[in-house]
Chains A and B, each alone.
Chain A
């Protein structure tokens, strides 16, 4: 319509960000604020015997020291299982135990450190397997007594199981009977961090008449309001949550944590403004992390490679508290097979408590982990079948008419076109040359690929809304509850609005900050659902505006409302376009030449709510968790040094069906960002915990926790397929998280091929590869790996390494001169 769709429209906040003018939560003046700092538990699991605040309170400038006994209130997104400050028991190293509030940060830090806590150490559990052992210590003794916020989770009292989602389909016996080839393999992914550049922080104050104002770095301002209201029994109307720009969220800022802490801090100092400061270490250890995952995958296929049966078990390491974890387990269950047709399916997905830092959503809601397991398994199956892994995926790719694990019938609209993505990837990667290639005596190049799919798993009634107001120059203000945290979703909404109203993009101003008193409700800025659900609301607001303009226009122009057209910021009758009214003369209401007042100011409103979603059947898993899937195919190319297992990532490829490429550059940017995150996560990121002693995190700083750096990224090559999703605005599919999903698997597949050893664990640090290869034995074809081109790695690791001739590359050193 307006012609803004498909253009590389600049982000609305581009100038603010590139000039450094954009303001984040802790950038606002701190004058008049007290500061709060945390004391966290050094133990993974311990009883709190006593807490002595005396010394802390005697420090100059200290106003309050708060502990769990002062606020025994529990909070939680799905299951109300988490105290604001640990009370009687600590369940992870890093768990907040005390909060000191003081006139400045230094006094608060000293006071927090001066709180004396006596602990009695309890045995801890660090993996789902340990936690499921019948003799395992319980992370939550009271599991059966917690309040549920949703109806579809079922924690098992007296166990460490927080939820279980089964999926049953077809006839397993028949599936195995029809299988000529089977593989079975276990997989493991450790927890890791979101590592947003902006550390979590929040501010709170309470006015004398009871109005609570929170400013926070959150993806979920409306959820903050709800949880504070629930947790402290305050009317929601007395709570106002303000969210300026957020410096990266990746799901890690969807939970409500720092806001509860800031709130109790302010409450303890008479409602005075308080600024909660967490440092990077606390952001990593105390605040929620990305979940770990363990899995056992068994696949069966005909000798042509057609999948006949899948038996899948997943255990999500949720850490000490559930937060949104059970819904990640639900998401794993509903997409459990990956984007393939599997008629005979038996899947059990569990959420498991451990004494790790609690986990929450992280970019792609566990799909990168699920996909790692499935796509490694597909690779192992391809090897066993001696089949090209790309072909194996192509013949099994789910297509319209077939059914998903939870028995949703596929269509082009809800599935997109995976075969088209695979074929395009084949060209883009020059896949016929995907076999490992010897570069020098010690180096090999190899490519690995993976496919993915993902549907959102929002609450079945997640809401959104949009309000559009006008300015006297005829331009518009778009007002939603969407948080701007780098995904450009606000700008995409503005683009849609401009197009629908036929105005140019620069006529749409976006209200970037969210204030829950002013902005219409939006569930949370998560799950890549903004373009869909907020998009629907924006479309409705635009319809509302058009209707009002037609009505006023018809009166002003003297024609039927249905003849009124709106284009290029003008209103005119179709039959007489030469006589028109400029937006600026009509959007504030029209006044004719005689001074008659016609119509009234235009105000657009639109709301929306998911429709047609359902909970999963507790026995079979049948149900629909999201409106549609986004599918894609990705690949990674590596060059590996077989002497020490170091490698370079030289290329990364992605083809995704986005429905409609409404803004090519910004959408490509999202995909590249996701790929970078996937490469970083898979190649090096992990939270390690001390197995002995206190069970503390051993990688709580950026000196020991490694993330990819500028200069280490490969060349990215992207392409898109566009199969519209019919119920989505402009047919655009969810896509902001998805760049990450297939990358960890593709990297593992490439590395496994390069050295002929199956890598089924993350991370893929050279040292981890070496350990796996060594355990697999010299030249072992672990996991059925049959890459003949790759020389025996273990031999290369010992004496064979020293035959390196001149020019074998001496790192930075250069040869002896």
Chain B
């Protein structure tokens, strides 16, 4: 039960959403955009947030869009993870979001909610980090469209009153060889100890991680090391651990040491697959 009252509104256009948000804030109410609500509700229940108004984005057609436009696939910010996975519009994305929570929760969690949530994994971002994706952000000043990497540094950096209207993924990436591996500490369906997404572009590995550190990331330095065939696999793995942006996470779900073990194992498998793949490629 959420013991405090809050206002709820469900606008039909992006402009209305921003107006409502601004009006509530002006009236002194702490306001949140509302996607699937799974995080807002669970945090409000235990009292760690106390929103006074929420603006639900799911009635806005543009936020629920899923279609190809020019050389991009557009995904609305209020699309459910399950809708994205079922559409098969981008197989790697489907894999990544199809392993977040269970089916029931996937039908509820939204793309925007996952990217903007406080839970540290934000796994839906992994494919986006590999693909030069862009985001359209709706704010009081209108819409701005820019590369995701510009507003994502482990978490979304939005301006006050802004929300994710759409994500744009260049279509060409949907065709590239990819890999998604997720390991949870005990069960298949759980928060990741380590989760990774990879694609091969022009023979080079591009890879992004969640779970291993306190935020998801893609590191160009690490990719360079992993692609450096002058080193053997063990050297590359050790280098990758050195190049982690921070020490592996260490919490009640999984210890630092075990995360590191899984990280190395999983990355080892990726490199093995990679070299097997390139050998096969060389033969054919």
Interface residues, chain A, with chain B CB atoms under 8 Å away? 105-107, 109-110, 113, 279, 281, 643-644, 646, 683-684, 688, 698-699, 703-704, 706, 709, 712, 765-767, 770-771, 774, 797-799, 801-806, 808, 810-817
Residue on B with the closest CB to A111?
A: B3
A644 x B252 contact (CB < 8 A): no
Instruction: Output the least CB separation between A734 and chain B (Å).
Output: 32
B179: Cβ under 8 A from any A Cβ: yes
Q: A802-B234, A812-B181 are contacts. A704–B261 as well, Cβ < 8 Å? A: no
Is the beta-carbon distance between A812 and B273 smaller than 8 angstroms? Answer: no
Whether A109 contacts B3 in the complex (CB less than 8 A), given A643-B265, A816-B178, comes out as yes
Looking across the interface, which residue of chain B has its beta carbon closest to that of A811?
B181
CB distance from B37 to the nearest CB of A (A): 16
Q: Which residue of B lies closest to A817 (CB)?
A: B177
Binds A, one of B54-62, B108-116, B157-165, B183-191: B183-191
A813 touches B268 (CB 8 A): no
Main secondary structure of the interface of B (DSSP, over half): mixed
Selected from A281, A709, A797, A801, the residue in CB contact (under 8 A) with B189 is A709
For residue B258, CB closer than 8 A to chain A, the reply is yes
Residue numbers in B under 8 Å from A105 (CB-CB):
1, 3
Chain A interface SS verdict (over half):
loop
Known: A704-B252, A816-B277. A811 touches B272 (CB 8 A): no
Bound-state CA distance A354–B258 (Å) is 29
Given contacts A110-B4, A802-B268, contact A817 B178 (CB under 8 A): yes
Interface residue ranges of B138-180 to A (CB < 8 Å) = 177-180
Q: How far is the CA of A815 from the CA of B264 in the complex (A)?
A: 17
State in angstroms the CA–CA spacing of A141 and B273 once bound together: 63
Q: Is A802 within 8 A of B271, CB to CB?
A: yes
B185's closest neighbor in chain A, by CB?
A767
Instruction: Judge whether A644 and B273 touch: CB under 8 Å.
Output: no
**Chain B nearest Cβ from A323, distance in angstroms:** 27
Taking CB as reference atom, which chain A residue is nearest B5?
A106
Chain B minimum-CB-distance residue to A683? B186
Residue of B nearest to A797 (CB): B261
CA distance A709 to B104 in the complex (A): 14
Counting CB contacts under 8 A, is B122 at the interface? no
Pair A766/B186 contact, Cβ less than 8 Å:
yes
Shortest distance between the CB of B48 and any CB in chain A (Å): 12
Which residues of B from 204 to 263 have beta carbons under 8 Å from A?
233-234, 237, 252-255, 257-258, 261-262
Provide the bound-state CA to CA distance between A475 and B188, in Å. 51
Q: Which residues of B contact A684 (CB under 8 A)?
A: 186-187
Q: A709-B189, A799-B234, A811-B182 are in contact. Are A644 and B262 (CB under 8 A)?
A: yes
A793 CB to nearest chain B CB (Å): 11
A711 CB → nearest B CB, Å: 8
Q: Separation in Å of the A440 CB from the closest CB of chain B?
A: 13
B95 within 8 A of A: yes
B274 CB–A CB distance under 8 Å: yes
Residues of B within 8 A of A798 (CB): 264
Quick check: is B23 within 8 A (CB to CB) of the other chain?
no
Residues of A within 8 A of B262 (CB): 644
Please tell me if the beta carbons of B261 and A644 are within 8 angstroms of each other in the complex: yes
Q: List, in ascending order, chain A residues with CB within 8 A of B187's CB.
A: 684, 706, 709, 712
Determine how close the nearest CB of chain A comes to the CB of B252; give it in whole angstroms.
5
Q: Which of A109, A646, A813, A816 contacts B200 (CB 8 A)?
A: A816
A814 surroundings in chain B (CB, below 8 A):
179
B13 at interface by CB-CB < 8 Å? no
Shortest A62–chain B CB gap in Å is 12
A767 / chain B contacts, CB cutoff of 8 Å = 185-186, 254-255, 258
Is B269 interfacial (CB-CB < 8 Å)? yes
Tell me if B276 is interfacial: C-beta within 8 Å of chain A.
yes
Instruction: Say yes or no: A801 contacts B273, CB within 8 Å.
Output: no
Since A765-B186, A771-B255, A817-B178 are in contact, a sample of 15 more A-B pairs with Cβ atoms closer than 8 Å, ordered by chain A residue number, is A106-B3, A113-B47, A281-B46, A644-B262, A688-B252, A712-B188, A771-B258, A798-B264, A802-B237, A804-B272, A810-B181, A810-B273, A811-B182, A812-B99, A813-B95
Contacting residues, chain A, for B237 (C-beta < 8 A): 802
Q: How far is the CA of A774 from the CA of B262 in the complex (A)?
A: 14
Most chain B CB neighbours (cut-off 10 Å) among A709, A767, A816? A816
Please, which residues of chain A bring their CB within 8 A of the CB of B46?
281
The 5 closest A-B pairs by CB, nearest first: A802-B268, A109-B3, A106-B3, A767-B258, A813-B181
Q: List 9 A-B contacts (CB under 8 A).
A: A704-B253, A712-B188, A770-B257, A774-B257, A802-B272, A804-B272, A811-B183, A813-B179, A817-B178
CA distance A367 to B169 in the complex (A): 57
Q: How far apart are A772's CB and chain B's nearest CB, in angstroms?
A: 12
Contact pick for A766, options B3, B185, B268, B271, CB 8 Å: B185
Chain B residues, CB < 8 A from A706: 186-187, 190
Kindly state the separation between the CA atoms of A110 and B50 in the bound complex, as whole angstroms. 12
B200 touches A812 (CB 8 A): no
Among B1-58, those with CB < 8 Å from A are 1-4, 46-47
Min CB–CB distance B2 → chain A (angstroms): 8
Chain B hits for A804, CB < 8 A = 268-269, 272
Contacts of B265 in A (CB 8 A): 643-644, 801-802
A528–B102 CA distance with the chains assembled, in angstroms: 36
